[in-house]
Amino acid sequence: MPGLPAAAALTAETRLADWRLSDWRGRALVVGCGGIGRALLTLLAERCPHLERVGASRHPAAMAGVTMLSVDLERDVSLQHLAEELSAGPPLRLVIHTAGLLHDGDLKPEKRLAQVRRAHLERSFAVNAFAPLLLAKVIEPLLPRQEPFHFASLSARVGSIGDNRLGGWYAYRAAKAAQNQLLRTLALEWQRRLPLGCVSLLHPGTTATGLSAPFQANVPQQRLFSPERAAAQLLDVLERRSAQESGGFWAWDGEPIPW
């Protein structure tokens, strides 16, 4: 990108224009091709027309104009394979991790202590907490050194410890809180090593996808976003962030969420 400072002098003090996503060239990677992930991949064609789009999850269905790769975030060898498949292309300017796990078979959000199970805690942490950090580790060599980039991951307001007034959902809440701490720590490391990166934790709001389907009954219609609306709001939030704000936890409307 013209006008950026020489590598030796790189700092987070980029111009706002350097963060205009519609101008970015390189690749966008969306990990987790569920409701919100697919809506983001669709919208990126319009909002970031110069970025090549890549999607990755365990069972990615084909999408026109998108390179789809397979990854199981619970397996290191699969993450390594994903990084190898990505290594041949241009730098990853925009990485959005949207994979998440709230329920699967007999894994359900706990209503009380008696329902807590070790295996469910471990699985929830594997997907909701460890996966985005381990993804960051394998793709780090593919991030640009001399251009700004975003590394965003979907968290959830229920992961806020300060905002926890209802209780329940032990595994999901705690795994999202752990993700927040892991990526906040990553943001601090990258501020030193990759100062043109902006790491963000994003709450999409309650969105009509498979993940929220069993819990939508009591959500007022105006508070339940379509995946398309959620995707647009998340890109709006990212559009307003730069490296100076790396490590933040933001809601869909751009408001910060307490840790």
Instruction: Name the residues that contact ligand NAP, by CB under 6 A.
Output: 32-37, 57-60, 71-74, 98-101, 127, 154, 156, 203-204, 206-207, 209-212
- Report the nearest approach of ligand NAP to the CB of residue 139 (Å): 14
Alpha carbons 22 and 157: distance in angstroms, whole number: 28
- Phi–psi pair at 91, nearest 5 degrees: -60, 155
- Report the nearest approach of ligand NAP to the CB of residue 16 (Å): 28
Cβ–Cβ under 8 Å, residues 71 and 54: no
Strand locations in 22-65 (E): 26-31, 51-57
Which CB, 160 or 207, lies closer to ligand NAP?
207
Which CB, 204 or 247, lies closer to ligand NAP?
204
Pair type for strands 197-203 and 248-251: parallel
Which CB, 40 or 142, lies closer to ligand NAP?
40
- Report the nearest approach of ligand NAP to the CB of residue 223 (Å): 10
Which CB, 40 or 196, lies closer to ligand NAP?
40
- Report the nearest approach of ligand NAP to the CB of residue 189 (Å): 22
- Beta strands across the sheet bearing 26-31: 66-70, 51-57, 26-31, 92-97, 149-154, 197-203, 248-251
- Report the nearest approach of ligand NAP to the CB of residue 157 (Å): 7
Which CB, 31 or 243, lies closer to ligand NAP?
31
Alpha carbons 72 and 77: distance in angstroms, whole number: 9
Alpha carbons 238 and 48: distance in angstroms, whole number: 12
